[in-house]
Amino acid sequence: MNLQKIHDFAIKTILDAGEQIRDSFSKELIIETKASANDLVTNIDRNIEQFFVDKIKNLDPSHKILGEEGMGDKIRSLDGPLWIIDPIDGTMNFIKQGRNFMISIGFFIDGAGKLGYLYDVMRDELIYAIRGEGAFLGKQPLGKLQPMTIEEAIIGINSSWVIPNGKINHEKITKLIKTVRGTRSYGSAAMEIALVVTGKLDAYLSMRLAPWDIGGGTVIAQEVGAAVSNLKGEPVNLLTQDTFLIANPSIHQVLLDQYIELKEEKQHSK
């Protein structure tokens, strides 16, 4: 498989999609809710995912596609060539702010990340990685993340996980917030991952992310030395929703050991 050819295709398709999204602000936005009142989707999310699906199937019909909006395939295994796509990560920001949302794309072969893309559509800023060849911001190579301490860290975390909640011990998170230099919350997992791989944040954690939120980012993480796991410290699973942590490698284990304590999952219950 010619990875460079697939990479050239991906870049062109992502930039085209970005242009379509920027143009969409002059057109009608149809907003629907999904699982909950705050889980939104628009006609643009769907159109852009369909655009990616059509382009990929045209490139090579054997490639499988896992997309947030379900326009791709039913994926039950990571075998073979697989695209993991979030056409608009941060849909609420897209609707309300017209900014601070990302296109996130990962390309995997037999579960191994080969190509990753995080595109800030409104800044027209593309971060990408080719497995083994490094990561880039535009044409600029991204260096490895540098050693640091937890006290110097700026952490991406949503306030939902700071208040008492069913998923994580919020008292340890309180201790974390008192320890670090600062926290941020941007409302787009892909944007927070993009900030971590470029050293603009030092960690980002979430209780509940889907494969399309993290697919592209995990490939870029490998190339800059960012550590990635779920909140138990296990490798991420690209087939299911799970907890998620990406961090500067100096503080990844510190976060897991000292500040993150998942609550017992209820057994035998739905």
Binding-site ranges for its own copies (CB under 8 A): 38, 92, 96-99, 123, 154, 157-160, 162-164, 173-174, 177-178, 181-187, 195, 199-200
Query: Shortest distance, CB of residue 39 to its own copies, whole angstroms?
Result: 11
Our CB check for its own copies shows the closer of 199 and 249 to be 199
Query: Shortest distance, CB of residue 196 to its own copies, whole angstroms?
Result: 11
* 89 is an annotated ligand-binding site residue: yes
Our CB check for its own copies shows the closer of 123 and 144 to be 123
Our CB check for its own copies shows the closer of 38 and 269 to be 38
Query: Shortest distance, CB of residue 239 to its own copies, whole angstroms?
Result: 27
Distances from the Cα of 160 to the Cαs of 80, 139, 168, in angstroms?
A: 37, 37, 10
Q: Which of 182, 181, 183, 201 is nearest to 191 (CA)?
A: 201
Q: Which of 98, 135, 90 is nearest to 114 (CA)?
A: 135
CB 236 within 8 A of CB 260: no
From the number of C-beta atoms within 10 Å of its C-beta (0-12, 13-18, 19+), residue 233 rates as: middle
Our CB check for its own copies shows the closer of 157 and 189 to be 157
* 124 is an annotated ligand-binding site residue: no
* 265 is an annotated ligand-binding site residue: no
Our CB check for its own copies shows the closer of 12 and 123 to be 123
Query: Shortest distance, CB of residue 174 to its own copies, whole angstroms?
Result: 4
CB 119 within 8 A of CB 14: yes
- Rounded distance between C-alpha atoms, residue 103 and residue 24, angstroms: 15
* 86 is an annotated ligand-binding site residue: yes
Query: Shortest distance, CB of residue 195 to its own copies, whole angstroms?
Result: 7
* 88 is an annotated ligand-binding site residue: yes
- Rounded distance between C-alpha atoms, residue 103 and residue 10, angstroms: 12
Our CB check for its own copies shows the closer of 15 and 40 to be 40
DSSP conformational letter for 257: I
CB 66 within 8 A of CB 83: yes
Query: Shortest distance, CB of residue 201 to its own copies, whole angstroms?
Result: 8
Sign of CA dihedral 24, 107, 137, 246: positive
- Residues placed in the known binding site: 68, 86, 88-89, 213
- Residues placed in the known binding site for Mg(2+): 68, 86, 88-89, 213
